[in-house]
Structure 1
């Protein structure tokens, strides 16, 4: 099975003063928190080419070596992806650049997880495989799948602190998720609707054209809404032996990768913080451990549960204030505050500013 994945190259974060790209080789497939396999992001270079822009100088300005983009299994910091998308939007003046990147990507852009999806028994199994295993490809964002009655909701959330271009990352991630479902169900598949946590664009047509469904902007999360019964649809050509081999390989990668406990908690919180099931007791129960064990393991990593919860709340708040027009009261409620005033006090503690001031000043790095 080792032949499935070529050895990868890992780009380290660069010194921000020199912006010289640094490349480290030989870390194999272990993926530290805050890093991603290029995967979908590999499509940034050809998308820049489509606009007549030479991608190499843009990639270098983001602190990366352009040679990394030769292979989707190479690894970069999630923060560098955000910087690169910010620069790409600026030099193309295209506000939906992330959508175009996601449009170009395929189910195989999701690497081994995409292959596992292809060999899953049903669409539901494929989506659950994506949710359960994306962490071997991406330690900067987290997917989730929830079913409510006859509606299924696939959501994608950025959870790395101070991520730039979270709106572009969300656009691209939802775009490739729809491509992946179409690869499994047929190119005529369309969601019931798509929700995006970004300002409504001047021209929404590129979104409608790709998703072929109603698109709602200024939403709290990036989500694909579709009928739950679609999850029962069987996938043609799925090979049970290949599925078993891929599952075994992914399990080996997860074991070798290990994980920082605090990063696991961040991933859980990012998908649950807006659903009011995220107390320390809730998370401890989810992980089948005692609350005191949870606290002890987090303190061993230098951060308590409350500090991590506030970090994620601050990250969600910043994304919604920066990229959407969601009202403050709605953001406060989504983050579990009973009143907008309590949210305002917390945000002032975190940032030194009120949410209104922060939004009005337009914190678009």
Structure 2
């Protein structure tokens, strides 16, 4: 367990997973015993501001799934979360003037809560797509974490728009679980598995809804605290590029000049900053693409052509060549040789 207030790449506040002990007890499992098995401090859940490495959270949840036999463990944890579980960022979200500002605030600042994934918001032909994508490599039970995150996102929308709010469709970037009943009961919306991303899809007009309970004065105070956090973490430029790239790849706007424009700089300046940090744009781009590709191969039944299109390759052959260069094996061999994800099926 990292110290309270610790902040580095690949860590997450425990507040988003605060329901793990309760869900374990509901399944007859002693949380203290399981934390010891996972090599984590028994006091991890005593303070929602405690930080845990993102990889350690994935390992913990994988053990939880194995011990409880519950294939929707992540969903059960996430459906007990909401804006308050996101700490300072969640409070800032709740005091936004309208739904769009609230969601864009979450997209802009969630890295102060979660340094292993990125939220996304896109508007396409009258539909809003509010998503969550893990970019931290080597995470066990990634599909469980993402299921929980989409449940939290749904609770955020219900908090902002009213308890009866429903998505037009809920997307999951993994194959259908053995029992989709818990997903149907919680989301109360059409579900689509084997999608390109994890996301809530809903009419974009919801974004204009004002938040009557928002307090402008409190928001200014919260914004000041966020700005101070931003100033302390401004030097981690490669991490910021990884976050932006994960979103840019999903929207097919991941060229170096397009990413540079998002930082209001020329591509030469972007490259210079990355070289000063000991990396390159191409290296980070390959890392992010490789991680997305592994997740899609491991957790979904998407074809190689579909994955190639999602990652903006010309065709499946181009994707296969790149994947073989990264991993030493073809995508097909990778998919055959990998074991089933915790709680999933092959």
Fold-level match, TM-score > 0.5?
A: yes
Q: Which residue of 2 aligns with 1:34?
A: 10
Judging changes above 3 Å, is the alpha-carbon distance between structure 1 residues 51 and 315 closer, same or farther for their aligned structure 2 residues?
same
Q: Which residue of 2 aligns with 1:172?
A: 148
* Alpha-carbon distance in 2 for matches of 1:92, 1:301: 43
Alignment of 1:220 onto 2:196: yes
Q: Which residue of 2 aligns with 1:306?
A: 282
Judging changes above 3 Å, is the alpha-carbon distance between structure 1 residues 185 and 275 closer, same or farther for their aligned structure 2 residues?
closer
Match of 2:273 among 283, 294, 297: 297
- What whole-Å deviation, never above 9, does each CA across 1:32-65 have from its counterpart, x for those lacking one? 1111111211211111111010112222333321
Q: Which residue of 2 aligns with 1:152?
A: 128
Q: What is the correspondence of 1:94-109 to structure 2 with a 5 Å cutoff?
A: 94-109=70-85
Match of 1:208 among 140, 164, 184: 184
Q: Is the 8 A contact 1:42 1:71 kept in 2?
A: no
Alignment of 1:283 onto 2:255: no
User: Which runs of 5 or more structure 2 residues have no equivalent in the other structure?
Assistant: 342-346
Judging changes above 3 Å, is the alpha-carbon distance between structure 1 residues 290 and 363 closer, same or farther for their aligned structure 2 residues?
farther
Secondary structure of residue in 2 paired with 1:66: coil
Q: Which residue of 2 aligns with 1:359?
A: 335
TM-score, structure 2 length as denominator? 0.95
* Alpha-carbon distance in 2 for matches of 1:316, 1:85: 20
Q: Which residue of 1 aligns with 2:224?
A: 248
Q: What is the correspondence of 1:6-25 to structure 2 with a 5 Å cutoff?
A: 11-12=1-2, 25=3
- What whole-Å deviation, never above 9, does each CA across 1:283-341 have from its counterpart, x for those lacking one? 11221212222112112222111111111111000000001101111001111111211
User: Which runs of 5 or more structure 1 residues have no equivalent in the other structure?
Assistant: 1-10, 13-24
* Segments ≥4 residues shifted beyond 3 Å: none
Secondary structure of residue in 2 paired with 1:104: coil
Q: Is the 8 A contact 2:167 2:189 kept in 1?
A: yes
Q: Which residue of 1 aligns with 2:344?
A: none
Q: Is the 8 A contact 2:93 2:102 kept in 1?
A: yes
Q: Which residue of 1 aligns with 2:119?
A: 143
Q: Is the 8 A contact 2:5 2:50 kept in 1?
A: no
* Alpha-carbon distance in 1 for matches of 2:284, 2:274: 9
Q: Which residue of 2 aligns with 1:44?
A: 20
Q: Is the 8 A contact 2:58 2:140 kept in 1?
A: yes
Secondary structure of residue in 1 paired with 2:184: helix
* Alpha-carbon distance in 1 for matches of 2:6, 2:48: 15
- What whole-Å deviation, never above 9, does each CA across 1:228-264 have from its counterpart, x for those lacking one? 1111111132111111111111111111233411111
Match of 2:213 among 237, 260, 277: 237
Q: Which residue of 2 aligns with 1:269?
A: 245
Q: Is the 8 A contact 2:71 2:178 kept in 1?
A: no
Alignment of 1:328 onto 2:304: yes
* Alpha-carbon distance in 2 for matches of 1:307, 1:186: 43
Q: Is the 8 A contact 1:135 1:142 kept in 2?
A: yes
Secondary structure of residue in 2 paired with 1:142: strand
Residues 345-354 or 211-220, more deviating:
345-354
Higher RCO structure (Cα 8 Å, ≥6 apart):
2
Judging changes above 3 Å, is the alpha-carbon distance between structure 1 residues 303 and 264 closer, same or farther for their aligned structure 2 residues?
same
RMSD: 1.3
1:219: Cα distance to partner? 0.8
